[in-house]
Chains A and B, each alone.
Chain A
Amino acid sequence: MKTFNYHSAKDSKEAKKLSSSNSAFLAGGMTTIPSMKLGLATYKDIIDIKNIKKLSGISVSGKSIKIGATTKHTEVANSKEIKKTIPSLSSLAEGIGDPQVRNRGTIGGSIANNDPAADYPSACLALNAVIHTNERKIEASKFFKGMFETALKKGELIETVEFQIPEKSSYQKYPNPASRYAIVGVYVAKHKSGVNVAITGAKPCVYNDKDLAKALVSSFSSNSISGMEVNSSNMNSDIHASAEFRASLVVTQAKKAVEAC
Chain B
Amino acid sequence: MKKVNLEINGKKISKEISDHTLLSVFLRDILNLTGTHIGCDTSQCGACVVHVDGKSIKSCTAFAADLDGSKITTIEGLSQNGKMHPMQEAFKKLHGLQCGFCTPGMVMSAIDLLKNNKKPSDTEIREWLEGNICRCTGYQNIVAAVKEAASKM
Q: Which residues of chain A (35-54) have a CB below 8 Å from chain B?
A: 36-38, 46, 48, 50
Q: Spell out A's residues near B (CB within 8 Å).
A: 1-6, 8, 26, 29-30, 33-34, 36-38, 46, 48, 50, 74, 97-101, 103-104, 178-180
* A4 partner residues in chain B, CB cutoff 8 A: 19-20
B61 touches A103 (CB 8 A): no
Q: Measured between C-beta atoms, what is the minimum distance from B66 to chain A in Å?
A: 6
Select which of B66, B112, B128 is within 8 A of A29 by beta carbon.
B66
Q: Measured between C-beta atoms, what is the minimum distance from B54 to chain A in Å?
A: 10
Beta-carbon contacts of B102-120 to A below 8 Å, as 1s and 0s?
0000000100110000000
Residue of A nearest to B65 (CB): A6
A3 touches B19 (CB 8 A): yes
- Which size bracket describes the interface of B in this complex? 20 to 34
Select which of B2, B42, B49 is within 8 A of A6 by beta carbon.
B2
Q: Is B36 an interface residue (CB 8 A)?
A: no
The 5 closest A-B pairs by CB, nearest first: A98-B131, A6-B19, A3-B20, A6-B65, A103-B55
* B46 partner residues in chain A, CB cutoff 8 A: 98, 100
Select which of B20, B42, B58 is within 8 A of A100 by beta carbon.
B58
Q: Is B41 an interface residue (CB 8 A)?
A: yes
Separation of A100 and B58 alpha carbons in the complex (Å)? 6
Q: Measured between C-beta atoms, what is the minimum distance from A225 to chain B in Å?
A: 30
